[in-house]
Chains A and B, each alone.
Chain A
Amino acid sequence: MPFVIGLNHRTAPVDLREKLAVANHELPGLLQRLRGESRSDELVCLSTCNRTEIYAQAKDGDTSRAAIRKALEHQAGAAGLDEHLYFHDSEDAVRHLFSVASGLDSMVTGEHEILAQVKQAYQTAQQQGFTGKLLNVLFQRSLFVGKRVRTETGLGEGAASVGSIAVGMAERIFGNLKDRSVMILGAGEMAEVTVRHLLAQKAKSLLVANRTFERACKLADEFGGTAMHFEEGLRQMAGVDIVICSTAAPHAVITPAHVRTVMAERKGRSLFLIDIAMPRDVDPAVNSIENVYLYNIDDLQQIVNENQAKRAREAALAKRIVEEETREFARWLKAHQAGLQQGLRHNSSTAQDPDVVK
Chain B
Amino acid sequence: MPIKAAPTKWLYLHIPMLCLSYLMLLAAAVVGLVFIIQERRIKRHQSVAVTSRLPSLETMELFIYRMILWSFPLLTLGILLGTHWAFMTRGRFWEWDSTETFSLVTWLIYAIYLALRWGIGWRGRRSTYLALAGFGIILITLVALFYYSPLHTMGSMRL
Contacts and interface: CB of A to CB of B under 8 A. Distances in A.
A175 B62 CA distance: 11
Kindly name the residue among B46, B56, B59, B123 whose own CB sees the greatest number of chain A CB atoms within 10 A.
Answer: B56
A302 interface: yes
A303 B56 CA distance: 18
A175 B59 contact: yes
A303 B125 contact: no
Contact of A299 (B45, B51, B59): B45
B155 interface: no
Contact of A295 (B45, B58, B122, B123): B45
A157 interface: yes
A267 B42 contact: no
Nearest to A167: B50
Contacts of B42: 169, 172-173, 293
B65 to A, nearest CB: 12
Contact of B49 (A172, A270, A310): A172
Contacts of A302: 45, 47
Nearest to B49: A172
Contacts of A264: 120-121
Kindly name the residue among A168, A173, A310 whose own CB sees the greatest number of chain B CB atoms within 10 A.
Answer: A173
Contacts of A270: 57-58, 124
B125 A173 contact: no
B121 A266 contact: yes
Nearest to B60: A175
B64 to A, nearest CB: 14
A175 B58 contact: yes
B43 A293 contact: yes
Contacts of A299: 45
Interface string A152-187: 001001110000010011011111000000000000
Interface in B116-135: 120-126
Contacts of A268: 120-124
A289 B47 CA distance: 21
Contacts of A291: 123-125
A211 to B, nearest CB: 29
B45 A172 contact: no
Interface residues of B, number: 23
A118 B156 CA distance: 67
B54 interface: yes
A136 interface: no
A42 to B, nearest CB: 41
Contacts of B121: 264, 266-269
| Contact size range, A | 20 to 34
Contact of A168 (B45, B46, B50, B57): B50
Given A287-B43, A303-B45, A159 B50 contact: yes
Nearest to B122: A268
A307 B51 contact: yes
A291 B125 CA distance: 7
Contact of A157 (B38, B46, B49, B51): B51
Contacts of B49: 169, 172
A306 B56 CA distance: 21
B125 A290 contact: yes
B58 A173 contact: yes
Contacts of B52: 172
A172 B55 CA distance: 7
A306 B47 contact: yes
Contacts of B55: 175
Kindly name the residue among B38, B46, B51, B52 whose own CB sees the greatest number of chain A CB atoms within 10 A.
Answer: B51
Contacts of A290: 124-126
13 contacts: A159-B50, A172-B49, A172-B57, A173-B42, A264-B120, A268-B120, A268-B121, A268-B123, A269-B121, A269-B123, A290-B124, A293-B43, A303-B45
Interface of B: 38, 42-43, 45-47, 49-52, 54-59, 120-126
Given A173-B42, A291-B124, 20 more contacts: A169-B49, A171-B56, A172-B38, A173-B57, A174-B56, A175-B58, A264-B120, A267-B121, A269-B121, A269-B123, A270-B58, A270-B124, A290-B125, A291-B123, A293-B43, A295-B45, A299-B45, A303-B45, A303-B47, A307-B50
The 8 A-B residue pairs with the shortest CB-CB distance, nearest first, are A267-B121, A175-B56, A268-B121, A291-B124, A306-B47, A303-B47, A168-B50, A299-B45
